[in-house]
Amino acid sequence: MSNYHIKNLEEYFAVYRKSIRQPELFWQEVAEEHFVWRKRWSKVLSWDFNKPEIKWFEGAQLNITENCIDRHLNTKADKTAFLFEPNDPKEPAQHITYQQLYERVNKMANVLKSQGIQKGDRVCIYLPMIPELAMAVLACARIGAVHSVVFAGFSAGALATRINDCDARMVITSDGSFRGNKTIDLKGIVDDALEHCPGTSSVLVVERTKNKVTMKPGRDQWLAPLLEGADVHCTPEWMDAEDPLFILYTSGSTGKPKGMLHTTAGYMVYTAYTFKNVFQHQSEDVYWCTADIGWITGHSYIVYGPLANGATTVLFEGIPSYPDFSRFWDVIDKHKITQLYTAPTAIRALAKERLDYVTSHDLSSLRILGTVGEPINEEAWHWYNDHIGNKRCPIVDTWWQTETGGILISPLPMITPTKPTYATLPLPGIQPVLVNENGIEITDNQVDGRLCVAFPWPSIARSIWGDHQRFKETYFTAFPGKYFTGDGALRDEVGYYRITGRVDDVIIVSGHNLGTAPIEDAINEHPAVAESAIVGFPHDIKGQALYGFIILKDTGTSRDRDNLSREINQAITEHIGPIAKLDKIQFVPGLPKTRSGKIMRRILRKIAAGETEGLGDTTTLLNPEIVEEIIQGKI
Ligand code: WTA
């Protein structure tokens, strides 16, 4: 039996048991089976969640790019590593082989070195989803520089905060980015940001849109001419297992963004292992994760996890709605995609559109579907299952976080029987526990608890950059001795986990804890509803009451809307109980979302509470204009 690849349910249980009873032995065997090491570890694990301090594979030396690129050259030099699908479908796709990846990453690594970047330096990457983004990430890893990718939809202010927080010496950006039929002046945003970043001395610029840009002498350089002269070989920097690999800021819906710090060996082992098993990767697969590399999903499951398995991984520059709502289905058909990994928000948006966008394409190449980022509601799950997977592709509802580095709870496709809205079972090595607000472990079924993890896994974040105290307070203080996820979850009678949403979104109404996710689920079941968000607002008698912001598929007349409000409350009563009925319903044209597609509940809470002044920073929203429209009561 291979530790690295689980092939059936019996094996899953056997491997899981071993991973809990003998975690060090288990991870040691995984590490031995699949990876190349410059020097072997002296100790598999040492940890103390109270400090907190976590070390995996201490004493080992390696380079993650050797594992992701070099070692595949013997057998897979001509295999496509990245399949680049541009924003404009008329622009040809690019197949970048492992050999070409090797050469391009090494050239870029040599350029970084020639610009004085050394092991341990932070490099901020602010690029659209083009091959250079992945190359820049890997080039940093090659020479031991710490990459900090900032999603190229963030504003100059948000970018500056992140650059300064990690004190990045260099920024890699492009002249612009394409988004549907628009172009965005990325270089201009970087210029604005750098007005406030005294520590950044160098900017490398990729040409993508041919926008006119201003190059600041002594600071800015075009990347292409530097690459031309660079050598195609670059000896990897030998990194200690616990040397930093990257910093990635979490969405920052509240307070200052947290720069989650991930280190080298454990992150590599865990992302590779989970990619292999959660997507049951086979060598001929063409795997597509629609996330942006600016988020953890892109880091772990577009770049590192797939490459560590020698996979073909798609890099998609576009958006689901351009040139029309068939784009995803078109890409699947064109490249014969075998795994599609996307977010519930995208599924819901596409499910709202005409079905013939889907049915006019051949999706028979698909084998496995995945979702990530938020709880998937039942209606979206069924639509995905019925219309995209044609009821033959298992859906892996993968639960994890920027902080966890990799997927912690997920079905294994074709192995774990799926259940809509359930992320199902923990992956090997993961020991979830549910606790109540007093930290007492919940052993009952179907009782909502706070989701914690009792034991470290290899890719857990090691710190918040520059603020270890905040790391401790945020994750290790509420329930001492455990990692606290901030999420609520429940477990069913067979041990399946259902993530019910952020605990900070739990609303206590008349003493009853209500998760927003199940209520939204019930509302979204209504055929007239496109999407909804529930928040709490202060109520004289109940303490908190529920406010529903609801987007309709068709706005209709006001009489329709009165009827709808009644029907919606009826549906909630049926699905959850009268206690979860909404006190207020507002039909809205859209919901404020972060650029990763998450609803900004903080803003909705304020609007619901009538506090429309001082809504805080809305610049990181995808659609800041919607806030005013909601306040004005537009539908
Ligand atoms: C939520 C994304 C339900 C959860 C990888 C978590 C999910 C937060 C799921 C992390 C899922 C992620 N079901 N909720 N399958 N996946 N979440 O850091 O609340 O962007 O804490 O990482 O997203 O978001 P992040």
Q: What distance in angstroms lies between residue 158's CA and the mean position of ligand 1's atoms?
A: 21
Place of tokens 């070692």: 71
* H or E element at residue 344: helix 344-351
Q: How far apart are CA 441 and CA 433, in angstroms?
A: 7
Q: Give which of 148, 101, 157, 104 is closest to 126, Cα–Cα.
A: 148
**Residue 620: its pLDDT value, please?**
79
The pLDDT of residue 513 is above 90: no
Q: Count Cβ neighbours within 10 Å for each residue of 219-239 and write b for 16 or more, e otherwise.
A: ebbebeebbeebeeebebbeb
Substitution candidate for ligand 1 out of 499, 500, 506, 593 with most atoms within 8 A of CB: 499
Q: What is the mean pLDDT of residues 491-514?
A: 76
Residue nearest to atom 12 of ligand 1 (CA): 373
Residue nearest to atom 7 of ligand 1 (CA): 374
Q: What is the mean pLDDT of residues 198-226?
A: 97
pLDDT, one tens digit per residue, over 599-635 is 888 899 999 999 988 777 777 788 889 999 999 987 7
**Residue 334: its pLDDT value, please?**
98
Q: Which domains does the chain have, with CATH numbers?
A: 98-237 (3.40.50.980), 519-631 (3.30.300.30)
**Residue 427: its pLDDT value, please?**
98
DSSP state of 290: -
Q: How far apart are CA 198 and CA 49, in angstroms?
A: 36
pLDDT, one tens digit per residue, over 394-417 is 999 999 999 999 999 999 999 999
Contact assessment for residue 458 and residue 27, using Cβ atoms and an 8 Å cutoff = yes
The pLDDT of residue 59 is above 60: yes
**Residue 255: its pLDDT value, please?**
45
**Residue 253: its pLDDT value, please?**
37
The pLDDT of residue 216 is above 50: yes
**Strand, coil or helix: 595:** coil
Q: Which two tokens stand for residue 413?
A: 């496709």
pLDDT band at residue 503 under the 50/70/90 scheme:
confident
Distances (CA, A) of 370 to 204, 274, 293: 35, 13, 17
Q: How far apart are CA 148 and CA 140, in angstroms?
A: 10
Q: What distance in angstroms lies between residue 343's CA and the mean position of ligand 1's atoms?
A: 10
Q: What distance in angstroms lies between residue 91's CA and the mean position of ligand 1's atoms?
A: 33
Question: CB under 8 Å to 49, separation ≥6 — which residues?
Answer: 456, 476, 480, 481, 482, 483
- Site residues for ligand 1, CB cut-off 6 Å: 250, 295-297, 372-375, 397-402, 423, 485-487, 499, 502, 596
The more confident residue out of 516 and 88 is 88
Query: Please, is 443 exposed, middle or buried when counting C-beta atoms within 10 Å of its C-beta (0-12, 13-18, 19+)?
Result: exposed
**Residue 305: its pLDDT value, please?**
98
Q: How far apart are CA 7 and CA 414, in angstroms?
A: 9
Substitution candidate for ligand 1 out of 262, 275, 374 with most atoms within 8 A of CB: 374
Residue nearest to atom 13 of ligand 1 (CA): 375
**Residue 58: its pLDDT value, please?**
98
**Residue 382: its pLDDT value, please?**
97
Query: Please, is 80 exposed, middle or buried when counting C-beta atoms within 10 Å of its C-beta (0-12, 13-18, 19+)?
Result: buried
**Residue 508: its pLDDT value, please?**
60
**Residue 576: its pLDDT value, please?**
72
Give the position, in ligand 1's atom list, of the atom nearest the Cα of 398.
Answer: 15
Distances (CA, A) of 521 to 515, 529, 555, 613: 10, 11, 20, 30
Evaluate the omega torsion of the peptide bond into residue 323 and state whether it is cis, within 30 degrees of 0: yes
Q: What distance in angstroms lies between residue 335's CA and the mean position of ligand 1's atoms?
A: 28
The pLDDT of residue 354 is above 90: yes
Q: Count Cβ neighbours within 10 Å for each residue of 48-79 and write b for 16 or more, e otherwise.
A: ebeebebbbbeebbbbbbbbbbbbbeeebeeb
Q: What is the mean pLDDT of residues 356-367?
A: 98
Q: How far apart are CA 299 and CA 19, in angstroms?
A: 25
Dihedral sign, Cα of residue 20, residue 24, residue 25, residue 26: positive
Q: How far apart are CA 518 and CA 501, in angstroms?
A: 9
Q: How far apart are CA 576 and CA 549, in angstroms?
A: 18
Contact assessment for residue 176 and residue 183, using Cβ atoms and an 8 Å cutoff = yes
The CA-CA-CA angle for residues 221, 313, 349, to 5°, reads 95
DSSP state of 388: I
**Residue 538: its pLDDT value, please?**
81
pTM over 0.95: no
pLDDT band at residue 514 under the 50/70/90 scheme:
low
Say what percent of the chain tops pLDDT 90: 80
Query: Please, is 626 exposed, middle or buried when counting C-beta atoms within 10 Å of its C-beta (0-12, 13-18, 19+)?
Result: buried
Q: Give which of 318, 317, 342, 294 is closest to 137, Cα–Cα.
A: 294
**Residue 254: its pLDDT value, please?**
43
Substitution candidate for ligand 1 out of 149, 278, 430, 487 with most atoms within 8 A of CB: 487
For the chain, what is the mean pLDDT? 93
Q: Which residue type, as a one-letter code, is found at position 3?
A: N
Q: What is the mean pLDDT of residues 6-30?
A: 97
Say how many C-beta atoms besides its own lie within 10 A of residue 401's C-beta: 18
Q: Give which of 364, 306, 302 is closest to 338, Cα–Cα.
A: 364
Contact assessment for residue 395 and residue 408, using Cβ atoms and an 8 Å cutoff = no
How many CA atoms does the CB half-sphere of 570 hold within 13 Å?
7
The β-bridge relationship of strands 543-552 and 529-539 is antiparallel
DSSP string, 25-75: HHHHHHHHHH---SB--SEEEEEETTTTEEEEEET-EE-HHHHHTGGGHHH
Q: How far apart are CA 469 and CA 481, in angstroms?
A: 15
Q: Give which of 146, 138, 108 is closest to 243, Cα–Cα.
A: 146
pLDDT, one tens digit per residue, over 104-137 is 999 999 999 999 999 999 999 999 999 999 999 9
Distances (CA, A) of 68 to 37, 124, 380, 426: 12, 21, 34, 26
**Residue 270: its pLDDT value, please?**
98
Q: How far apart are CA 403 and CA 265, in angstroms?
A: 16
Q: What is the mean pLDDT of residues 152-166?
A: 88
**Residue 515: its pLDDT value, please?**
65
The more confident residue out of 518 and 449 is 449
* H or E element at residue 100: helix 98-114
Q: What distance in angstroms lies between residue 18's CA and the mean position of ligand 1's atoms?
A: 27
Q: How far apart are CA 260 and CA 628, in angstroms?
A: 33
Q: How far apart are CA 625 and CA 627, in angstroms?
A: 5
**Strand, coil or helix: 525:** coil
Residue nearest to atom 8 of ligand 1 (CA): 401
**Residue 252: its pLDDT value, please?**
39
Contact assessment for residue 337 and residue 480, using Cβ atoms and an 8 Å cutoff = no
Range with lowest mean pLDDT among 319-328, 475-484, 613-622: 613-622
Say what percent of the chain tops pLDDT 70: 97
